[in-house]
Amino acid sequence: MSSKSVGRGEGRPTLEEVAARAGVGRGTVSRVVNGAAGVSQQARTAVEQAIAELGYVPNRAARSLATSRADAIALVIPETETRLASEPFFASIIRGVASELSDTELQLLLILVSTERERRRLAGFLDGRRVDGVLMVSVHADDPVVDLLEHTGLPTVLGGRRSELEPISYVNPDNLGGAWSAVRHLLGLGCRRIATITGPLDMEAAVVRLDGYRRALAEAGLPDEPRLVAHGDFSEGSGERAMAELLELEPELDAVFAASDLMAAGAMRVLRRAGRRIPADVAVVGFDDSPVARHTEPPMTTVRQPSEEMGRAMARLLLEEIASPSRSHRQVILSTELVVRESA
């Protein structure tokens, strides 16, 4: 039999107990556990054996307290789980972040916030320093969660800035160039009555894509007609509604640039129902190059936004920021690319 420290029941074994059993001091055990150098082979073996026998696992809370590191980072998504599930963009971001984190010891924590209550709980969680840094995507201009982040002083990286003067580090796709090239493509096809379906205008990405659209039209000497602009919120349903509206206001339109693939898919459905052929009657271009773009009928021409790479870049920036905190913020702009399929 063995001392009290060994059995199950008396709680989990501690560093101290391992040390006692291995006949060494706490320091030595700590060194072994953390893979530090300067431990004799003999001591190391003894400790390892004691750890195995006792089934010792370090207590993270204690370690956190001592080192003031949490070994975890949060990816905050201020949307509902429905949205998380319906927009492939998030999946790509998650994949990118996870892959960049894969050879670190950092645990990725996904946190969804939509209610005020959840926001407060998140505040407590972050303030309590349960993570070493925060990633956040899908940020709306007036999102209170961001203030919360700034206030905690935790290293933070946004996926999608709120404005050009964003004071926090961020990774952004080249929305302007993407939208611009989409509309240029439509113009090149000979389209002249080009409508657009925007995203929610409290998001910079939506505003800038609209800008890109307008700029391309202006360059082509085309007027900016309000009735060619309808608003959505990036979701499929909103794309349908917006398209219906456009068709009503401007039956003569010959092309649509939607600020997201999902909205473009919704628009295509409405167009087809209205008897318009795509692209013969109306050409359609989306934005994102999400999986759905490949499965629409016909396959969708769209602007590729490197979402996964965006996730990776975000993680990379955050790691840098954690490693060397600094007042200055970093930013990365990822270029976009037009993928021509059959809808335009």
Cis before residue 298, ω within 30 degrees of 0?
Answer: yes
Name residues contacting a copy of itself, limited to 24-83 (CB under 8 A): 57-65, 68, 70, 72, 80-82
By the rule CB under 8 A, 95 interacts with a copy of itself: yes
Give the whole-angstrom CA distance, residue 245 versus residue 270: 10
Would you say 134 or 208 has its CB closer to a copy of itself? 134
Tokens linked to 339? 């993928």
Residue 243 as a binder of a copy of itself (CB under 8 A): the answer is: no
Question: What does the alpha-carbon distance between residue 56 and residue 77 come to, in Å, rounded to a whole number?
Answer: 35
Pairing status of strand 301-304 against strand 337-339: antiparallel
List all residues 6 or more positions away from 108 whose beta carbon is below 8 Å from its beta carbon: 72, 73, 75, 94, 97, 98, 101
* DSSP-assigned beta bridge partners for residue 332: 171
Element (H, E) at 169: strand 169-173
The C-alpha atoms of residue 238 and residue 136 are separated, in whole angstroms, by 24
Q: Work out how close the CB of 109 gets to a copy of itself at its nearest, in angstroms, rounded to a whole number.
A: 5
Measured from the CB atom, is 33 or 187 closer to a copy of itself?
33
Residue 223 is a binding residue for a copy of itself (CB under 8 A): no
Phi (first) and psi of residue 169, to 5 degrees: -60, 145
Residues 5-34 that bind DNA (CB under 7 A): 11-12, 14-16, 23-28, 30-31, 33-34
- The token duo for 316 is 């990379």
Binding pattern for the stretch 277-306 against a copy of itself, x by CB under 8 A and - elsewhere: ------------------------------
> Can you give the binding site for DNA, defined by CB under 7 A?
11-12, 14-16, 23-28, 30-31, 33-34, 37-40, 42-44, 56, 58-59, 62-63, 65-68
> Can you give the binding site for a copy of itself, defined by CB under 8 A?
57-65, 68, 70, 72, 80-82, 84-88, 90-92, 94-95, 98, 102-103, 105, 107-112, 115, 117-118, 121-122, 124-125, 127-130
